[in-house]
């Protein structure tokens, strides 16, 4: 990747492109520890920008796993009384470039993938790729073998949509592991409702081959697509 300095800093939301010149005049921007003299200076991957005495490594594509707690949303901005996931990665210099690859409801915990790579997001959420999503599901009522069998074959959601086959593992009388390959709105909860049950706790343990890999709630880490 080769990009202009002012564009990259603007993408990070650190400063507007118009005001970068004033920072350069004050010697507050360095590239690889040399003073930046022009706002249109070309930078590339792995260069180090020192902006206002903070070092930032130039990266084209960034990928993050976040262990999301309840009551944070997958939106890039706060909505009503819910805070954006971005509040959870404020110590990441690329926080304002991050978008969600596969949303989680505000009351659902654990695995959230974040990136600025829109091709990666499309690959993850596109139904034709059939990427597995694994959920730990606690139910309000007992779930029978027949109801599990129905989930594994197909169920009809409240809008008439018939789901693709799922994988279901019983953990206890009211707890299952559910693996699906679709991204329908509130699909896990609506699948439970289709067999006359209700989800009382939900977490996402895995997308594809990625899991939280020991991350505690609120923690995050970088990853690369080759980590899967």
Q: Does one domain contain both 117 and 13?
A: no
Quote the domain boundaries for residue 176.
Answer: 132-207
Torsion of CA 215, 184, 96, 226, to 10 degrees: 50
Give the count of domains, the chain. 3
Q: Does one domain contain both 93 and 155?
A: no
- CATH number, domain containing residue 147: 3.30.70.1560
Q: Does one domain contain both 203 and 140?
A: yes
pLDDT of amino acid 226: 62
Q: Does one domain contain both 118 and 146?
A: no
188 is catalytic: no
Q: Does one domain contain both 153 and 188?
A: yes
Q: Does one domain contain both 24 and 79?
A: no
Q: Does one domain contain both 107 and 216?
A: yes
Round to whole Å and give the CA distance between 19 and 51. Answer: 13
Q: Does pTM top 0.95 for this prediction?
A: no
Q: Does one domain contain both 116 and 146?
A: no
- Among residues 67, 70, 94, 72, the alpha carbon closest in space to that of 83 is found at 72
Which CB contacts under 8 angstroms, 24+ apart, belong to 221-224?
Answer: 221/64, 221/65, 222/62, 222/63, 222/64, 223/63, 223/64, 223/65, 224/63
Give me the catalytic one of 40, 60, 105, 159: 105
Of 17, 41, 57, the one marking the end of a domain is: 57
Q: Does one domain contain both 138 and 118?
A: no
- CATH number, domain containing residue 48: 3.10.290.10
Of 57, 72, 101, the one marking the end of a domain is: 57
- CATH number, domain containing residue 222: 3.30.70.580
pLDDT of amino acid 227: 55
Q: Does one domain contain both 140 and 196?
A: yes
For residue 167, how many C-alpha atoms fall within 13 Å in the half-sphere facing its CB? 10
- Among residues 70, 59, 166, the alpha carbon closest in space to that of 112 is found at 70
pLDDT of amino acid 91: 94
Block mean pLDDT (10 aa), the chain, length 228? 91 87 88 93 94 90 96 94 96 95 94 95 83 96 97 96 96 97 92 97 94 93 75
């Amino acid at each position: 990747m080769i990009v202009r300095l002012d564009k990259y800093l603007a993408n990070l939301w650190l400063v507007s492109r118009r005001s970068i010149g004033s920072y350069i005049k004050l010697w507050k921007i360095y590239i690889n520890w040399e003073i930046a003299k022009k706002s249109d200076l070309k930078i590339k991957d792995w260069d180090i920008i020192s902006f206002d005495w903070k070092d930032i490594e130039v990266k084209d594509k960034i990928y993050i796993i976040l262990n999301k707690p309840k009551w944070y949303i997958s939106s890039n901005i706060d909505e009503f009384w819910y805070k954006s996931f971005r509040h959870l990665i404020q110590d990441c210099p690329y926080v304002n470039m991050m978008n969600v690859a596969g949303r989680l409801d505000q009351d659902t915990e654990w695995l959230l993938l974040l990136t600025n790579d829109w091709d990666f997001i499309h690959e993850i959420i596109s139904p034709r790729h059939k990427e597995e999503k694994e959920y730990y599901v606690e139910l309000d009522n007992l779930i029978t073998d027949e109801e599990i069998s129905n989930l594994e074959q197909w169920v009809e959601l409240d809008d008439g949509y018939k789901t693709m086959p799922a994988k279901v593992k019983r953990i206890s009388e009211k707890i299952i592991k559910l693996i699906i390959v679709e991204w329908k709105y509130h699909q896990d909860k609506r699948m439970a409702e289709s067999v006359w049950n209700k989800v009382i706790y939900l977490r996402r343990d895995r997308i594809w081959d990625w899991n939280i890999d020991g991350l505690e709630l609120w923690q995050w880490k970088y990853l690369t697509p080759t980590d899967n």
